[in-house]
C-alpha cells in the first residue's frame, strides 16, 4: 500500500499548524505565569528606600574612613570605628537614625577616644564628616524607575522607610520617584506594629501585603511576623546594626536585584 505524502500547504494542514503554534504560545505564557510567585492576591507592595532603591550606606562607609583617619593619632582606625559603632548603638533609642545622631556620635566618640583632648578644629572636622553624609547626589540602582513604573501600573505602591523625617523627605524628592508611590511612610522604627498600621490603613489583610527591602532585620523579620510577604534583596554594604541572622520562610523570597522583581511578581 502506498503512503500518500500530506500536502503541507493544504488549508486543513495550515489551520492545524497555526492551531498548534497558538497552543504552544498559550502553554509558554501559562507556564511563565505559573512561575510568578506573587500575583493578584497582593494588593499593596511597599519598598524600603535606602540601599533598596538607591545607595545610602556608602556615604556612611566613606564617613567612617575619614573618621578612622582623623582618630589615628589616638588609636587604630578599626578600633576607632568599633567604638563609634558602640556609641551609635547606645544613642539609637534616644536619638534614632540619620546624620544628626551620627554627628553627635562622632563628636561623643572623638572626645572619648582622645581622652577629652579633642581640638576645636577636630570637632569641626567631625561635624563636616557627618554633614557630608547628607545631600549627596542620589544614586538610583539600575532599572529602579523601570521596575517601579511597571509595578505601579498594576499595584498600589508604598514607600516604607525609617529615619529622620527631613532627610528622608529630601532624598525622596531628589530621587524623582515620588510619583510611583500612592503612600509614603517615614517611620522612627521598622517594627511589626508600624507595618501592621500600613496594612490596616489600606484596609488589607497581612497576606495581601508585600514588602521589598535590603535589611533582614528591619524589612523582613517584622513583616513575616505579622503574616505578610517579603522579598529580600541583600545590599552589598549594610550597617552592622542592621545585620540579622537570615532564615528561610514560606512567605519569604530572596532576589538578586530590583529587576528580579519582574520575574517574581505578575505584571
Ligand atoms: Mg534599607
Q: Does the pLDDT value for residue 26 go beyond 70?
A: no
The alpha carbon of 125 and the centre of ligand 1 are apart by a number of angstroms equal to: 27
The alpha carbon of 72 and the centre of ligand 1 are apart by a number of angstroms equal to: 30
pLDDT at 193: 97
Give pTM, 2 decimals.
Answer: 0.83
CA nearest to 60, candidates 144, 156, 163, 145:
163
Of residues 1 and 55, the one with the higher pLDDT is 55
Let me know: does 71 contact 83? Beta carbons within 8 Å. no
pLDDT at 151: 98
The alpha carbon of 53 and the centre of ligand 1 are apart by a number of angstroms equal to: 8
pLDDT at 219: 97
pLDDT at 29: 56
CA nearest to 130, candidates 213, 55, 70:
70
Confidence of residue 263 (pLDDT cuts 50, 70, 90): very high
CA nearest to 111, candidates 95, 96, 128, 123:
123
pLDDT at 32: 52
Sheet of 209-213, strands arranged across: 183-187, 156-162, 44-47, 209-213, 229-232, 252-254
Q: Does the pLDDT value for residue 11 go beyond 60?
A: yes
Residues with Cβ within 8 Å of residue 32, at least 6 apart in sequence: none
Residues 87-98: tens digit of each pLDDT: 999 999 999 999
The alpha carbon of 242 and the centre of ligand 1 are apart by a number of angstroms equal to: 9
Let me know: does 47 contact 213? Beta carbons within 8 Å. yes
Of residues 250 and 34, the one with the higher pLDDT is 250
pLDDT at 36: 83
The alpha carbon of 68 and the centre of ligand 1 are apart by a number of angstroms equal to: 24
The alpha carbon of 205 and the centre of ligand 1 are apart by a number of angstroms equal to: 24
Q: Of all residues in the chain, what percent carry a pLDDT higher than 90?
A: 81
Stated as kind and residue range, the H or E segment containing 174 is helix 165-175
Arithmetic mean of pLDDT, 139-151? 97
Average pLDDT, the chain: 92
The alpha carbon of 148 and the centre of ligand 1 are apart by a number of angstroms equal to: 16
Arithmetic mean of pLDDT, 212-220? 97
The alpha carbon of 52 and the centre of ligand 1 are apart by a number of angstroms equal to: 5
Amino acid at each position: 500500500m502506498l503512503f500518500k505524502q500530506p500536502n503541507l500547504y493544504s488549508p486543513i494542514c495550515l489551520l492545524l499548524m497555526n492551531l498548534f503554534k497558538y497552543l504552544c504560545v498559550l502553554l509558554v505564557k501559562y507556564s511563565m505565569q505559573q512561575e510568578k510567585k506573587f500575583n493578584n492576591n497582593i494588593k499593596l507592595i511597599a519598598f524600603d528606600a535606602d540601599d533598596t532603591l538607591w545607595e545610602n550606606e556608602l556615604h556612611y562607609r566613606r564617613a567612617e574612613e575619614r573618621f578612622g583617619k582623623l582618630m589615628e593619632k589616638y588609636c587604630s582606625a578599626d578600633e576607632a570605628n568599633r567604638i563609634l559603632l558602640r556609641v551609635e548603638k547606645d544613642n539609637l533609642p534616644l536619638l534614632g537614625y540619620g546624620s544628626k545622631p551620627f554627628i553627635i556620635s562622632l563628636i561623643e566618640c572623638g572626645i572619648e577616644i582622645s581622652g577629652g583632648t579633642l581640638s576645636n578644629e577636630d570637632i569641626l572636622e567631625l561635624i563636616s564628616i557627618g554633614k557630608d553624609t547628607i545631600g549627596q547626589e542620589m544614586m538610583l540602582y539600575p532599572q529602579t524607575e523601570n521596575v517601579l513604573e511597571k509595578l505601579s501600573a498594576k499595584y498600589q505602591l508604598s514607600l516604607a522607610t525609617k529615619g529622620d523625617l527631613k532627610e528622608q523627605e529630601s532624598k525622596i524628592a531628589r530621587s524623582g520617584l515620588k510619583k510611583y508611590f500612592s503612600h509614603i511612610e517615614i517611620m522612627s522604627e521598622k517594627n511589626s506594629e508600624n507595618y501592621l498600621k500600613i496594612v490596616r490603613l489600606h484596609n488589607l489583610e497581612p497576606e495581601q501585603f508585600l514588602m521589598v527591602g535590603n535589611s533582614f532585620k528591619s524589612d523582613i523579620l517584622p513583616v513575616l511576623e505579622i503574616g505578610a510577604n517579603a522579598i529580600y534583596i541583600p545590599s552589598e554594604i549594610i550597617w552592622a546594626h542592621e545585620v540579622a541572622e537570615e532564615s528561610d520562610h514560606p512567605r519569604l523570597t530572596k532576589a538578586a536585584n530590583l529587576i528580579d522583581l519582574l520575574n517574581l511578581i505578575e505584571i
